[in-house]
Amino acid sequence: MGFLDKLSDFWGRLGDDSQSIDKFKGHFDSGARANRFSVNLFGPAGSGLNLEGLRCESVTLPGRQLAHEGWSAYGPLQHRVYNLDHDGNQITMTFRCDSSFYDRLIIEAWQSMIFAKGEGSSYHPIFAYYDDYIGTIEIQQQRKDGSPALVYELEEAFPIAYAAQELNAATTNDILKFSATFAFRTFNTEYKKPKKGIFDRLNKGRKYLDIALDALKLGSRYNKKAGSILNKLDHLDSSLARGARDIGGFIPPKS
């Protein structure tokens, strides 16, 4: 699914009527949090070098820039795009080490696969074919309930560097950390729908409330009891809409 398709799908969930932009502006929850994320590493195919739920302390979601140059046959410049860049097509992560250094072991093993098997080493750097050492990195930004909200998938990734680690007797209570830098070719993004929750229940209840209100409005012309019930449901309708606004959601208007 291309990005325009994703946007169309997202907008379609808000509705097509003239109030859609108001719904969009009003539907703001507690906000995405920078400290809720997880990182999964999937090494070269068949290698078994996978790390899911990695103990990653910090990572930056890469951006995308279009490389362009000014061109003009006559008059003002026109900018023409000729390539694209993803923050240098590199990403750096900082990890917390456990006492077994398992995370670092996997990353170092992945990097060693860049040397040609049986021929290359750090003494004699002969490198393997590109397809033999590339893998995938998945970064999930998560909601409060732990479900993914935004998923980045970095394609054709591999570790190009890991930083030096300082050992210091004066910092005995600090957890040792290490940083690794990965190259990648491009990335894909996926925006996940939230799990069904309070707003789904409110919206479903609103549909049945609208049906009941329509029936009672017709019946109230001939039955006083129906008119009394109508007044109570009208009050409930107003309270429901007001409550949804107070907690940052929206109730779709009756079509």
Q: How far, in Å, CA of 102 to CA of 53, rounded?
A: 13
Give residue 209's identity as a one-letter amino acid code: L
112 & 215 share domain:
no
Q: Is residue 21 part of a domain?
A: no
89 & 56 share domain:
yes
213 & 181 share domain:
no
What is the structure's pLDDT at 59? 94
Instruction: For residue 200, give every residue at least 6 positions away whose Cβ sits within 8 Å of its Cβ, in sequence order, or none.
Output: none
pLDDT digits (tens, 9 = 90+) for 148-157: 999 999 999 9
Q: Is residue 4 part of a domain?
A: no
Beta strands in the chain, from DSSP E residues, in sequence order: 37-42, 50-54, 56-59, 65-71, 78-85, 90-96, 135-142, 148-162, 177-183, 186-191
169 & 220 share domain:
no
Give residue 150's identity as a one-letter amino acid code: L
Q: Is residue 1 part of a domain?
A: no
Q: How far, in Å, CA of 170 to CA of 164, rounded?
A: 18
Q: Read off the tokens for 93.
A: 């992560």
226 & 128 share domain:
no
55 & 114 share domain:
yes
Boundary of a domain, candidates 169, 191, 213: 191
Instruction: Identify the domain containing residue 151 by its residue range.
Output: 31-191
Q: In total, how many domains does the chain have?
A: 2
What is the structure's pLDDT at 53? 76
179 & 204 share domain:
no
In the chain, what is the straight-line distance between the N-terminal and C-terminal CA atoms, in Å?
30
Q: How far, in Å, CA of 96 to CA of 112, rounded?
A: 21
Q: Read off the tokens for 234.
A: 């009208």
Q: Which residues of the chain have pLDDT under 50?
A: 17-18, 198-199, 201-202, 240, 242-255
Instruction: Indicate the SS3 state at residue 233.
Output: helix
**Neighbouring C-beta atoms of residue 90, cutoff 10 Å:** 14
Let me know: does 134 contact 159? Beta carbons within 8 Å. Answer: no
Q: Is residue 253 part of a domain?
A: no
Q: Read off the tokens for 41.
A: 């590493």
Distances (CA, A) of 120 to 105, 125, 127: 19, 5, 6
What is the structure's pLDDT at 157? 97
Q: Is residue 252 part of a domain?
A: no
210 & 186 share domain:
no
52 & 94 share domain:
yes
pTM, entire model: 0.67
Boundary of a domain, candidates 155, 175, 191: 191
Q: Is residue 136 part of a domain?
A: yes
What is the structure's pLDDT at 164? 93
134 & 215 share domain:
no
pLDDT digits (tens, 9 = 90+) for 87-112: 999 999 999 988 888 889 999 999 99
Give residue 59's identity as a one-letter amino acid code: V
99 & 173 share domain:
yes
155 & 210 share domain:
no
